[in-house]
Structure 1
Amino acid sequence: MGTTAACVIGFRGELIKDLVARGHEVYAFALDYNQDSSARVSKLGAVPVNYVFSRAGLNPIGDFLNTLRLKRQFRRLGPDVVLTYFAKPVIFGTIAARLAGVRRVVGMLEGLGYVFTDDPAGESLKDRLLRHVQVTLYRFSLPLLERLIFLNRDDPKDLVERYGLRVKESTVLGGIGLDLDRFNYSAPETNPVTFLFVGRLLREKGINEYVEAARLTKERFPETRFLVLGGLDEENPGGLSKKELMLLVERNVVEYPGYVEDVPEWIRQASVFVLPSYREGLPRSTQEAMAMGRAVITTDVPGCRETVESHDNGILVPAGDVQSLADAMAHFIENPDLVVSMGREGRRIAEERYDVRCVNSSLIAFLEGPQSANALKNSV
């Protein structure tokens, strides 16, 4: 049980197929199924189930009523185990499942989110209040879980240990897995060296640092290319505006192709992948770039630092530090052999840590628990 249908298809598809292959009946919950996405989930072998919840709303009455509705859905379906992931589903989905009498609930936090992200610009009163509310909700819901799964080593320290939360069992998974055949190795081009950013165009993802470092680097190395893939979110106060982005494109600072479906094809065009984020769970985009043999520049923050062994497969820089980011870019431009050697090491690490078959084996073991009966029904 997560949020969007796109997430179910893109990030849970392989898990669903593996569960179905083992004889499990899978119900895949999402907020926004349409005819097309429902058909795609059905093709994976799962039963798509719509549910109602506000992804980012702060209406306690609405959340309470939606939790009761979700409880009734669980009671009607009668799953043996529920997997909840992302913050709101872990909190309210867990409560609803236990109210419905589900015996086993496993939660997965793929990151702590912007509420727990240290912004170089400082923390607002609103952020502190939201963090307090979320910790209070976690204090009530996390003890109801059989197991809580994290993707990196920092998150359990910054959540469970820091706030003294009670959790029965916790595990660091280290990534949600990739199809390494789809994201296969290709030798990177180095003439010119091309940098790639993939992510929502938000401040906390480091887009401002990326475009400013691109501007500085272009002054020294005008032939260098800077690609940007990701959606605009102009309603977010930290989002890059369309006007700002188009101005950067007009000035030849960055290239922005708009919405693209074939991300691997764009990774193939890149020499080095860049993610200057302020905090992540364990970034899928970085794993994809590593699997395809791309060196990485990312920040020395939770989640991001897990993907890079500095100067083996990439370079770590401080969050919010434009000059350090530009210096790292210049280092690759001046030493193009590192693009190739670090890219090969990234592929090796991806094969060792991020193979979806190995990751799914661990997840399925947690879901099946001590009893591996093939008749279990799972809700993801």
Structure 2
Amino acid sequence: MSFDQIINRKNTYSMKWDGAQSIYQNSNLIPMWIADMDLKAPEPIISAIRKYAELGIYGYVEYPELTDIPQVIAEWLKKRNNWNVKPENLGYSSGVINGISLAIRALTQENDSIIVQSPLYGHFRSAIEHSKRVLVKNDLIREEKSYFFNWDKLESQIVANHVKMAILCNPHNPTGRVWSPDELRHFVNICQQHQVIILSDDIHSDLILPGYQYYPVASICPEYSNQIITFKSLSKTFNVAGLQFSYYHTTNNTYLKKMKSTAQYSSNPEWPTSFALPALKAAYENPICEKWLQRLLVYLASNLQWLTKEIESKTPAIVTNSQSTYLAWIDVSYLHCSEKDLLHELNNSGIGIQSNKDFGLNNNDGLFIRLNYATSKAVLKQGIQRLINGLNHLHKK
């Protein structure tokens, strides 16, 4: 299977492609916004789904904890992350954000403060505010082409706002930063001093680009693991977000019970879709899938290297040194224009991206775009050319 294959996803109920037409009002647009890939999943996953589909019955699915799935997940985490987890310390949700929302409602009270590092993944804001909690933003420090924690501000904001919970994005979306063991220890030490629960969104943790390494915060700081809940999924890794399944880990049995109890009365039950468990079993057990993942990471790194050189050689834009994911974080502050004008120009140029407002930034923070480069090289080249054309046209105005 070649990642260079161009797959027509139009008229397939795709949020990325069909949904983009209603969002951007441009039927000829190349969508490079939402985080799913234009690349086929590994063949063993496709075969597992096809085999299940041929049953012709798609009834309710057994609770994952009553199956072999917890052991399959535990073995994957040991193999990929050298992280020893007990199957009984796992919980399940229809998605990582749903799981995080569940933890917020189960473990905090209305009007409690929750701190997030900014730029932030927009659904963190939604999960916090829809639960009637208070969002506290701690801006990351930007140096050269990378991002770092602002330690002094992190602690002062925790104290000033009586923060009860912190959401860590590991690796970080949208900047692609992979946190080091020392950074994770420092983060945990601050939270531990002030009795702050940590929710770690690690959904992109399998998508670490060559030369970098991911560390689960709970494995780096086992002494505080009973105050850490780590959220993971196969959805980004193997491009199966539509299967609606994720899992979370904590050594705190009280937290697990509270989350499961809250889930029983929520609109986001723990039940996965019919195809999720067969797909996960194939993804985590079949060695072909892991080989596919290794090839994918090389392909993504090649795409990022090419687009960085292309954009920076033809515009004054600055592409952040991403260490993970398939999302480029690009500084276009040199344009000195409004976000509205930027989006209008790029829409007219035929490319759909996300920008400041989706990541908790305002005009004082500069002007940034997030671009999904997990597509074939042919489509990527078309999209980047449209981006360059739009940026240069706007720069001349």
TM over 0.5: no
TM-score normalized with structure 1 length: 0.30
TM-score normalized with structure 2 length: 0.29
Q: Which structure is richer in relative contact order (CA contacts within 8 A, separation 6 or more)?
A: 2
